[in-house]
Amino acid sequence: MFDPKSLLDQLLGGQPGGSQPGGFGDMARDAQQRFRNSPLNSFGGGAAMGGVLGLLLGGKAMRRMTGGALGYGGAAALGALALRAYQNYQQGKSVQGTVPMRPDEFSQISASELPHALPAADGNPLELMLMRAMIGAAKSDGQIDAQEQQHLFEQVERLGLNAEEKAAVFDLLAKPLDLSTLNASVFNEAQRAEIYLAARLATDGSHPGERAYLDALASRLTLPAPLRAHLDTQATG
């Protein structure tokens, strides 16, 4: 059965199925080793489905994800980083006075506190929205043309996935995040923060199209400027 939580964890470099922070040093080494040894080379690491999404995100984004804090805990680390940024914002802390969260601090946050521990407002796993936000960011530079899109679909066909897994991957690749209904689909502001952070981590914002996508996403999520600044700090640390 298709598991959105596992796929997101694979994409971010964590161990599939892992939800509780712990053993971060080993997890980081394992994630980086999987990345280096992936048959897709620089396109991504993890299991097959995560590798296809890594192909879309590209080697640069995947190196940032698996080589940084996310390499220590995958999806759990993404949630922890978003939660820390949100808490710093709520406490009125200055962005200049904060530093990115360290991996050894992850154990202070339980899995139930993470924004994606709750489903989205429509009842679907928030992980699906997080992955669509990342894919939208990866496509926003306009460098994924029709031929490259077809190549991605061909790669999926070669992976030997079951029908449910294949349909899920095709849906993620083909169906963009609906920015017009995004705000109503999110349960709370912490989830909005995690969605933005997921997209921010999938791009470095160097291309005008990427910056425009992130601006539109932040606007639709109605993220206050100080909260966005705290999220950017966690993403670029």
Question: Smallest Cα–Cα separation from 31: which of 183, 18, 229?
Answer: 18
Computed over every residue of the chain, the mean pLDDT equals 74
> Domain extents for the chain?
4-236
Distance separating alpha carbons of residues 31 and 33, to the nearest angstrom: 5
The whole-angstrom separation of Cα 213 and Cα 130 is 15
Query: Quick one: pLDDT band at residue 109, thresholds 50, 70, 90?
Result: confident
Other C-beta atoms closer than 10 Å to the C-beta of 40 total 18
Residue 11 neighbours by CB under 8 Å, 6+ apart: 44, 46, 50, 53, 54, 57, 65, 131, 134
Least reliable range by pLDDT among 35-44, 131-140, 205-214, 216-225: 35-44
Task: Examine the pLDDT at 23 and tell me if it is beyond 80.
Answer: no
pLDDT at 227: 97
State pLDDT tens for residues 149-166: 777 777 777 766 678 877
